[in-house]
Amino acid sequence: MHRDPHLSNSHLMTRRHAAVARGVGQAHEIFVSHASNAEIWDVEGRRYIDFAGGIAVLNTGHTRPEIVNAVKQQLDRFSHTCFQVLAYESYVELAERLNALAPGHFAKKSLLLSTGAEAVENAVKIARAYTGRGGIVAFAGGYHGRTMMTLGLTGKVAPYKTGFGPFPGEVFHALFPNALHGVSIDDALRSVEQIFKNDIEASRVAAFIVEPVQGEGGFYVAPPEFIGGLKAMADQHGILLIADEVQTGAGRTGTWFASEQWPVAPDLITTAKSMAGGFPISGVVGRAEVMDAPGPGGLGGTYAGSPLGCAAALAVLRVFESDGLLERAKVIGARLSNSLRHLARTQPAICDVRALGAMIALELCKHGDAQQPDAELAKRIVAEAARRGLILLSCGTSGNVIRILVPLTASDALLDEGLGILTECLAACSAG
C-alpha cells in the first residue's frame, strides 16, 4: 500500500485541532490509512487489531469484498434518487428482509433512514402518532443519540447533554436493573410505577424505550424478567415497547435482533450501525398497524434508505448467511468472556465480565469493590493497548467499562493476539 512519507499522526492531529470543532471527540490520536477485516493500518504504517469495530458498525469486518462490490455496482447504476421521489427495489427488499427478521408473530412493516438517532426519533414519532399520546419513558444510563429528542431520552449527562438543554419535554427516566450496582428488577419496575405517580399518568405515555443491552451505558443486559414485567405494564396501559437495537442489532448478540431473546416481542425496533457494514443507513421495523399510523409524507428524509446503504445492507445479510456469523457471535462471546473470566481470577481490578453473544465487557474497580469504579485504569488500559497495537473502547456511566466489539469475521488467531495484548496491558497498568 502506497504511503505518503510526509503524513504523521501528530501532524494530522495539529491540523485537526486547528480545523475541527473540539466537541467532536477522538478516542485515539491515530489517523487511518487503510483497513481489512479486523486489522487497521495508520498513516505511519503501524498495524492495529480492531476490537472497537467503529463502535459496533463492523460486525462483517472492514472492506469485506462482497459488501464493497455490492456498493461499487450500485454506484455505477445510480447513487441517489430520494426514495420518496423515485423508488428502487433494494429499499423494498431490505424492508421485506427486516420484517421477516424481526421477532413477533404479527404483520410488520419497515421504514429506512440514515443514522441511529434518526431511527430513534422516528420510532418516537410513530409511537406518538399511533397512540395519540406524548409521554416517553426511557432508562437511566441509556444512550439513544445526539439529536435533541434522543439526547432527551439519553440517561447520561456528561458529556452528551452538557450545555445543550432544554430538551423536548414529556420524557421521563426510570431505573435500569443492574444487579452489580444494587438495582433489582423490582426496583426498576417500581420506578416506572413511580413515574406514573409523580410525573405523568400512564394513559398519557406512548412508549417505553429500552436497549436490550445498554451500549454506551456499560453493556448491562436487560434481564428477560424485567422485559416481561415492562411488557405486562405496557399492555395494561396501552403503552408501546420500543427496543433500541442500534448497537445490539445486526447479529452482535448471537441473534439478528437481541430482542429475539426476549420473552415478548417489542412493538417497534430501531436498527442501524452494523446492518450495512459501515455505510450509513438505519431503520425502524415493527407492527404493521403501528408503523402505518403516520400519514403519507409524515416519514422519510432526503438520504433516508439510500441506494448505497440498501445495497450494502443486503450484502451484509448475505455475508451473515455465508459465514454463519450468528453462530460465530456466540462462539466469540464464549471464547473471549471465558478467557477474561479466567484473567479476573488473578486481576482484582476486574470486578465483572459480562457478555450477550459477542457484546463483551469487563468492568474495572478499585480494591476489588464494584462500588469503586476505576475510570482512570480503564483510560490507561485503552491508551496502553493502542500503543501496543490494539484498539479498544471504554464505556459506562462511570467510564470504567472496557467493551469489545470485534468484527465477527475475525479469526481465532487474531482474537487470541488481541486478548494477549489486553492481558499484558491489564498487568502493566494495574501494577503501575
Ligand X SMILES: Cc1ncc(COP(=O)(O)O)c(C=O)c1O
- To the nearest whole angstrom, how small is the minimum distance from the Cβ of residue 21 to ligand X? 17
Joined together, the cell numbers standing for residue 106 give: 404479527
Our CA dihedral for 71, 272, 35, 331, rounded to 10 degrees, sits at: -120
Q: Which residue is nearest to ligand X (CB)?
A: 116
- To the nearest whole angstrom, how small is the minimum distance from the Cβ of residue 192 to ligand X? 19
Residue 287 binding ligand X, by CB under 6 A: no
Sites for ligand X among residues 182-221 (CB under 6 A): 211, 215-216
Residue 252 binding ligand X, by CB under 6 A: no
Joined together, the cell numbers standing for residue 157 give: 449527562
Residue 246 binding ligand X, by CB under 6 A: yes
- The alpha carbon of 69 is separated from its chain's Cα centroid by a whole number of angstroms, namely 25
User: Quick one: which of 272, 356, 414, 419 contacts ligand X (CB under 6 A)?
Assistant: 272
Backbone angles phi, psi at 206, to 5 degrees: -80, -40
Residue 52 binding ligand X, by CB under 6 A: no
Decide the pairing of beta strands 108-113 and 282-287: antiparallel
Listed in sequence order, the residues at least 6 apart from 282 whose beta carbon sits closer than 8 Å to its beta carbon are 112, 113, 114, 115, 116, 118, 119, 246, 270, 271, 272, 273, 275
Stretch that binds ligand X, among 1-9, 80-88, 243-251, 329-337 (CB under 6 A): 243-251
- To the nearest whole angstrom, how small is the minimum distance from the Cβ of residue 249 to ligand X? 9
| Helix (H) / strand (E) containing 186 | helix 185-198
Count interface residues toward ligand X (CB under 6 A): 15
239 close to 247: Cβ distance less than 8 angstroms: no
- To the nearest whole angstrom, how small is the minimum distance from the Cβ of residue 142 to ligand X? 7
- To the nearest whole angstrom, how small is the minimum distance from the Cβ of residue 40 to ligand X? 20
Nearer to ligand X, 142 or 373 (CB): 142
Residue 268 binding ligand X, by CB under 6 A: no
Joined together, the cell numbers standing for residue 229 give: 414485567
Our CA dihedral for 98, 100, 103, 105, rounded to 10 degrees, sits at: 140
Calculate the alpha carbon distances from 85 to 78, 80, 357 in Å. 14, 10, 40
User: Quick one: which of 120, 171, 207, 378 contacts ligand X (CB under 6 A)?
Assistant: 120
With b for 16 or more beta-carbon neighbours within 10 A and e for fewer, the 252-270 pattern comes to: bbbbbbbbbbbebbbbbbb
Residue 405 binding ligand X, by CB under 6 A: no
Nearer to ligand X, 117 or 351 (CB): 117
Residue 305 binding ligand X, by CB under 6 A: no
Sites for ligand X among residues 127-186 (CB under 6 A): 143-145
Residue 117 binding ligand X, by CB under 6 A: yes
- Residues forming the site for ligand X (CB under 6 A): 55, 115-117, 120, 143-145, 211, 215-216, 244, 246-247, 272
